[in-house]
Amino acid sequence: MKKLFVTFTFLVIGLFVTRAQEPFFAVKKGMILEYANKNAKGKINDGMRYTILETEVDGDNITVAYQVDLLDKKMDKINENPIEVKLKVIDGTIEFDPGSAFGKIMEGVEIKGTGLTLPENLSAGQKLKDYEMSIMSLGVESKATNVIVESQEDITVEAGTFNAYKVTCNLNSKALFIKTQGKSAAWYVRGIGHVRINNYNNKGKLISYTELINVE
């Protein structure tokens, strides 16, 4: 549960969205996104399902309410109670309140940090802001540096083929007293969000990935 919880945290901690174009996450009411977290050989460890419940637009501001279901390796739901999350986009910047969801998963969890920022116009070679987060009660800290838009390209995942922006970064993490270094590559699609996130060790070897396997 802890591993799945931390993975979920990284995926939703924050994205900048544009007002002029479709944002980099799902906003269509009733839309369902199903993700699988897999090891390097493609074996499913666990997963997540997002269901968009409601979207409210007030000028340049957007509020998206969605439900998160945690899934086991058979992709069966494991949380008994609904986990509801609200994302507030104020003047183009998303504000995520971790307490609205994570308190229902694990008591006493406090999350601090900043999220990935994706500006309206992306281009290959563009450098983005570094970001970081910490979950003090779990002894987890992570910082992403050298965040770069590597390319705009088509990527094929289990859910289909999408035109995405590939964003890479260096990751420095600490879990309890264990420090690790690695890299990450994520593909973001307008109107959906991430469709794949690859996690590499410090030698560039793929160790795990998250993949969109179904969208409705």
Largest CA distance in the chain: 46
- CA-CA-CA-CA torsion sign (197, 148, 130, 143): positive
Nearest alpha-carbon partner for 167 in 113, 201, 129, 207: 129
* Ramachandran area for residue 74 (φ above 0: left; ψ -120 to 50: alpha; else beta): alpha
Type of residue numbered 148: I
pTM of the model: 0.82
Output the CA torsion 57→90→192→186 (10° steps).
Answer: 180
Q: What is the pLDDT along the chain (216 residues), one digit of tens a residue?
A: 444 444 444 444 344 444 446 777 788 899 999 999 999 999 999 999 999 999 888 877 778 888 989 999 999 999 888 788 777 666 655 554 544 544 445 555 666 777 777 776 788 999 988 888 777 777 788 889 999 999 999 999 999 999 999 999 999 988 888 888 999 999 999 889 899 999 999 999 999 999 999 999
Any residues with CB less than 8 A from the CB of 56 and at least 6 apart, and which? 62, 63
